[in-house]
Structure 1
Amino acid sequence: MTDVVIRSAVADDLPAIVAMLADDPLGATRESPDDMTPYRTAYERLRTDPDQFLMVAERGGAVVGTLQLTFVPGLSRRGSTRSIIEGVRVAGSERGRGLGQHFIEWAIEESRRQGCSLVQLTSDATRTDAHRFYERLGFTASHVGFKLQLTTSD
């Protein structure tokens, strides 16, 4: 993967990132690449938060992967910090070529450098291929997750 550069996302990367987020059955129902306004707002919040890292993988000048790495200090586990990996996506043309593994390994190493004692992630229950991928990288399905969808009032 010497031809892959992992770097912080910049505003110009947003269309490529959103396109990857929308490029699967789940993302197709929840993303709106035709309206970049909410993504720009979210990007600004991420960009100014020192515990948020929105990253891209770039090959040949093209954005081909993305993930968000969040650092969460806490009291549990003897006051340890954990990292959370979210929004992992690899462009369709790159799948099966090792980029996903390289990207996750980068996130794990960055978490070590930041002094984290735990790396965690969630994956939709329907993404069975992703579950096998994460297990192959050493992650264990250790918890049951719950979500509560909130709606905003106009």
Structure 2
Amino acid sequence: MPATTLNLLAELTLRSAVPDDLPAVLALLADTAHWLDAQGVRQWPADGFPAERIEPLIREGVLYLLDDGRGGLPAATVALDGHADPEFWTPADRPGDALYVHKLAVSRAHSGQGLGEALLDWAGLRADAEGRHWLRLDCSKDNRRLQAYYRDAGFRHVRTVDLPHRASGALFERRASGTLLERRPVAARAHVRVPRQAAEARF
């Protein structure tokens, strides 16, 4: 299976998830959900996602992993597809003009290394390579820290959709780009590079 290697401190490989990865992905998402819950963030189910929510993403080929090839939990995971949540994105938003980020999670062991930013850069490259104009996501309505994280990553707040049955609803977007976003220098991120071929690879 073709893969794209990101130039990271631990030399992690970006690849499509396969069915055998399901237990590790569920464990990573559960660990992240527990951490979020401990921070008072209720965006994800406190015990993580059931397999039936993640299996379709693997089957459709839209879930990706960063790992070191040694087994165990992946360093990070993200889903990237053209699915615009109809409760959030309206026809006036031209939902087909964007790719959408879902299930972005970085393991606690790899936090602070810029992996989330690298995956968002890669997603922006992919969106541009597919002729989309925007990279979009939704996140917790109440998590100001996470919203600030996305603003720092170049996203703008579009609006907040406040639905009583949804913890998420803060909508963000940034322009799809064939170049990497320039950020303030951060030592841990200096070793993170996402080459353009990562955007063009179809895995």
TM range (shorter): 0.7 to 0.9
Q: 1:8 to 1:85 in 2, by over 3 A?
A: same
In structure 2, the partner of 1:128 is: 144
Which residue of 56, 60, 64 maps to 1:45?
56
**Runs of 4+ in structure 1 displaced over 3 angstroms?**
41-44, 72-80, 146-150
Name 1:31's counterpart in structure 2: 48
Task: Give the length in aligned residue pairs.
Answer: 142
Cα distance, 1:83 vs structure 2: 1.0
Q: Which runs of 5+ in 2 are unaligned?
A: 1-5, 85-89, 167-203
TM-score of the superposed pair, with normalisation by structure 1? 0.76
Question: 2:82, 2:96 within 8 Å by CA — same for their partners in 1?
Answer: no
The structure with higher relative contact order (CA 8 Å, sep 6+) is 2
Q: CA RMSD in A?
A: 2.8
Counterpart of 1:139 in structure 2 is: 155
Relative to the length of structure 2, the TM-score reads 0.59
Matching of residues 47-126 of structure 1 within 5 Å:
47-49=58-60, 53-62=62-71, 63-72=74-83, 76=92, 80-126=96-142
Q: Indicate the SS of the match to 2:66.
A: strand
- Over the matched positions of the two proteins, sequence identity in percent amounts to 23
Assess if the C-alpha contact under 8 Å between 1:67 and 1:89 holds in 2.
Answer: yes
In structure 2, distance between residues paired with 1:71 and 1:113: 13
Task: Deviation per CA, 1:22-62: give whole Å up to 9, x if none.
Answer: 22214462426xxxxx41x444433454xx61111113534
Match in the other structure for 2:30: 22
